[in-house]
Amino acid sequence: MEDRRTNWPLTIFLLIVSAPIIIMYLWLFIDSISEINIESIWPQKFTLKNWRFLTEEIAGHGSVWTATLNTTIFATSVVAIVVVLSSTAGYALSRLKFPFRSQFLGFVLLLHSFPSVTLIISIFLMLRMIGLYDTLIGVILVKAALELPFGIWIMKGFYDTVPWEIEMAGLQDGASRFQVWYKLVLPQIMPGVAALAIFSFMAGWSEFVLPLILAPSSDARLLSVYLAGLMIDDYLSDFGLFKAVGLFYVVPVMIFYLFTQDKLMNIYGGGTKG
């Protein structure tokens, strides 16, 4: 009970600091189900016409469900690629000694420091050359490649916390190196794997610049590009529609974060000591 009482001041402070954001999202929801009147800031009348995009296509912008499916495929594919490659590469960098290992680690970290915007022209030309421009697969590969340096560095740190004795015991019992990694070491760093997967999913869901430039067509359009297209449409000035689509875009990732925030914090920690 004493711990709960001592946490009240911090809780109240965080609620006060978060109040503007909470009010903003609450007002966004109210606006999306209300008639808009420029003469008053208060809602005038309940309506669901702003959510019509759920059942009908907006002229010139296609179906929101196609964009939602593309975004889901994009985010989950990025998660799969980043987690699998980071888990294996991080293990190799943590356990194997090879020439220029430290230089390679520094180079991996350096790659993460480059903003994706600075590489967009070269990426665009490469995708055109290999025939993956304006395709969902092309954007997935680019986004995963840009997230990999961070993932490898994080996973390497988790592997460093796993004692060598666990692997030595497995090898002495006749297990192969792969079996030792898969059955003994990987379970020890599952908090890191979960945190990296969550982080990669949120990064993929919120990506805007890459799909806007590298996959602009309606067949490969993501929700972020779909929303931006509504905002710049000179023939469509329906602010209620903008707010409804924006809320539709942000709610899934907010719910996802609420249920996974504890695991996401593991990315700043280490693996489980054996």
Q: Is residue 31 part of a domain?
A: yes
**Mean pLDDT (whole number) for 47-73:** 88
81 and 127 part of one domain: yes
**Residue in the block written with tokens 């994009």:** 74
Does residue 58 form part of some domain? no
Q: Same domain for 84 and 189?
A: yes
Are residues 24 and 72 located together in one domain of the fold? no
Residue 1 has pLDDT above 90, yes or no: no
In this prediction, residue 46 carries a pLDDT of 82
Q: What's the pLDDT score for residue 204?
A: 93
Any idea which residue has 């969550």 for tokens?
198
Residue 53 maps to a domain: no
pLDDT at 256: 84
Average pLDDT over residues 219-243: 81
The neighbour count for residue 3, using CB atoms within 10 Å, is 6
Average pLDDT over residues 18-40: 81
How distant, in Å, are the alpha carbons of 21, 111, 213 from that of 202? 19, 20, 20
Mean pLDDT of the chain: 84
DSSP 144-205: HHHHHHHHHHHHHHHHHTS-HHHHHHHHHTT--HHHIIIIIIGGGGHHHHHHHHHHHHHHHH
Number of structural domains the chain divides into: 2
* Angle at CA of residue 230, ends 227 and 236, nearest 5°: 160
pLDDT at 86 over 90: yes
Domain of 18 in residue numbering reads as 1-47
Phi, psi torsion values for 233, nearest 5 degrees: -75, 115
Mean pLDDT of 167-182: 85
**Do residues 84 and 42 both lie within one domain?**
no
Pair (36, 84) in one structural domain: no
Give the pLDDT mean for 41-52. 80
Please tell me the predicted confidence (pLDDT) of residue 38. 60
Distance CA 18, CA 159 (A): 36
What number is the average pLDDT over the span 230-256? 82
Same domain, 2 and 98: no
Domain assignment present for residue 103? The answer is: yes
In this prediction, residue 177 carries a pLDDT of 82
pLDDT higher than threshold 70 for residue 91 = yes
pLDDT tens digits, one per residue of 194-221: 889 988 999 999 999 999 999 888 788 8
Examine the domain organization and report whether 178 and 235 are in the same domain. Answer: yes
Whether residue 119 is found in the same domain as residue 212: yes
Same domain, 3 and 96: no
Cα separation of 188 and 152, whole Å? 17
What are phi and psi for residue 60, nearest 5 degrees?
85, 0
98 within some domain: yes
Asked if residue 55 belongs to a domain, the reply is no
* C-alpha to C-alpha distance for 40 and 79, rounded to whole angstroms: 45
Q: Label residue 268 by pLDDT band (50, 70, 90).
A: low
Q: Is residue 200 one of the residues assigned to a domain?
A: yes
CATH of the domain at 193: 1.10.3720.10
Those residues whose C-beta lies under 8 Å from the C-beta of residue 188, and which sit 6 or more positions away, are: 162, 166, 271, 272, 274
**pLDDT at 141 exceeding the cut of 90:** yes
The whole-angstrom separation of Cα 185 and Cα 91 is 9
Q: Are residues 24 and 139 in the same domain?
A: no
The residues, any chain, with a CB within 8 Å of residue 269's CB and separated by 6 or more, are 191, 192
Q: Is residue 273 part of a domain?
A: no
What is the mean pLDDT of the segment spanning 31-42? 72
- Quote helix, strand, coil % in the chain, to nearest 5: 75, 0, 25
Q: Is 72 found in the same domain as 42? A: no
Confidence of residue 56 (pLDDT cuts 50, 70, 90): confident
Instruction: Give the pLDDT score at 224.
Output: 92
Residue 97: the pLDDT is 81
Instruction: State the Cα–Cα distance between residues 223 and 221, nearest whole angstrom.
Output: 7
pLDDT of residue 273: 41
Q: What are the pLDDT digits (tens) for 109-140?
A: 787 777 778 888 899 999 999 999 999 999 99
Q: Does 76 share its domain with 143?
A: yes
